[in-house]
Amino acid sequence: MKRLVSLLMLSVFSTITTAQIAITEVYYNTPYSESKKRIPSSNTSNKYSEHHLGEFIELYNYTTEDIPLNGWYLRDNAGVYYFPADAVIKSGDFLLVAYKPFDSQYLYFPKFFPNTKGQETKILYQFRLVLNNLGEKVKLFTSGNGLLKDVLPKDKPPLSTVLIDVDKVQWENTGLLPSNYDKKSSIGDGSTANYNINSLQRSGENSYNENNKTNPLTALYKPAMVNYQDVPLVKNFRRNNYARLTWSQYVDRILKNTCNYPVPITEQSNSSYVLTTTKQCFKHDAAGNMDVKENCSSTTTSTTSSAANLQNDPEQIKNRIKIYPNPVSSLVTLTWDNEVNNLISQMKIVALNGAYTVSVPKNASGYTFTADLTLQPKGIYVLIITLNSGQTLSKSIVKI
């Protein structure tokens, strides 16, 4: 889209970002010519075709956490681009949304901008957004599900069907069209031509200018980094949907938020103890009333086995069921001994939200059992132990 330098006047409108992601650069003025009526074609899906090659919108995540983009959208005057469900923008990093014709498989962008080579994972191609030199409004927005990263899977349909404005930029070029506006120029691979053209770049919290050469995956101005939880839009949505969160994203933070004072862990058990017993004798009168109670035998001692002690000591049972590693990221192993095994009715591992349950065989070989939590979400899981007596014990397992 050839630049209308001398005859057009640029006006830019922007808003202060209130969420987690900012639009930091828009490159709409490529070396190709742009017709006011677009270039007609027999293939309507390709009618914008090469005349918009090189166009991109640059986004920047200025929070302390990676942000999944499922539920996020970009809109301009031509259409809406829905981010792929698996797209993620890393903390303190950029993501480019670049134009590519509908029927093209050529991932051309690194040829146009060699500084992006090796960073292809940060480039998303689309054909819905077609940027116009004369004027355009580009808006980034999200839904409720796009703001809350750790909502229970059962929470569908989405939390909110209302789209929330996150950031936007708008420009208007006014004036007379030059005589060569409808003509097209060839630029080869574009690597030199694109770097010689200015782009619309964020220059402050709520301002843009077009005084600098385009340079994708860098920024003239980046909003200051903020804690994800402190972003006003996120705080409000979490406050309104607190009961629906799994908090799985914050297991690591909870684990690290502990005091530095070391607390030694010791295991204590008594192999036996001495129980002192006495025998009481009762005498009754003819009517059956108790007449006298007396000690009718000498004191005796009896030694109980460790198994009998264990039955009366739930904490010792729990201590003798080992879980490692804990916290765990993939495979977690449980071990116990024969004495504990004889007291157990059943064991199972369950997720707090009830979405995962696995039974632990009581007579597992070697009294050892391994569960695979690799594909399970981060969070707290519980080993539930039911004894023969009906008593229930539990131990926590943390998935990170």
One-letter amino acid at 91 equals S
pLDDT in tens, the chain (400 residues): 444 433 344 555 555 445 689 999 999 988 765 544 444 444 444 444 567 888 999 999 999 989 999 889 999 998 999 999 899 999 999 999 999 887 777 788 998 899 999 999 999 999 999 998 888 899 998 876 656 655 544 444 444 455 788 899 998 886 655 444 444 444 444 456 778 888 999 999 888 999 899 999 999 899 999 998 888 878 777 777 666 666 665 665 556 555 555 555 555 555 555 555 566 676 666 666 666 666 665 544 443 455 667 778 888 888 889 999 989 999 999 999 888 898 999 999 998 877 888 999 887 888 899 999 988 998 899 999 999 888 899 999 999 8
pTM above 0.85, yes or no: no
Residues in CB range of 258: below 8 A, 6 or more apart: none
Q: How far is CA 214 from CA 38, 92, 98, 194, in A?
A: 24, 20, 14, 7
Other CB atoms closer than 10 Å to residue 271's CB: what's the count?
Answer: 8
User: Which tokens belong to 288?
Assistant: 């059956």
Among all chains, which residue has been given the structure tokens 């008593």? 391
CA–CA dist 228, 146 (Å, integer): 13
Is 64:228 a contact under the CB 8 Å cutoff?
yes
What three-state secondary structure class fits 303?
strand
Is 46:84 a contact under the CB 8 Å cutoff?
no
- Identify any residues that bridge with 135 across adjacent strands, giving them in sequence order: 172
For the CA atoms of 371, 376, 382, 383, the dihedral, rounded to the nearest 10 degrees, stands at -10
CA–CA dist 84, 254 (Å, integer): 30
Is 26:58 a contact under the CB 8 Å cutoff?
yes
Q: From edge to edge, which strands make up the β-sheet containing 322-324?
A: 322-324, 331-335, 368-372
Residues in CB range of 306: below 8 A, 6 or more apart: 269, 270, 271, 272, 339
Residues in CB range of 327: below 8 A, 6 or more apart: 251, 255, 398, 399, 400
Other CB atoms closer than 10 Å to residue 159's CB: what's the count?
Answer: 19
Is 99:53 a contact under the CB 8 Å cutoff?
yes
Is 308:273 a contact under the CB 8 Å cutoff?
no
Backbone angles phi, psi at 223, to 5 degrees: -55, 150
CA–CA dist 181, 34 (Å, integer): 7
Q: What was the pLDDT predicted at 132? A: 86
Domains of the chain (ranges; CATH) run 8-245 (2.60.40.1260), 274-306 (no CATH), 310-399 (2.60.40.3080)
Q: How far is CA 155 from CA 88, 89, 323, in A?
A: 21, 23, 32
Q: What was the pLDDT predicted at 262? A: 54
Q: What was the pLDDT predicted at 83? A: 95
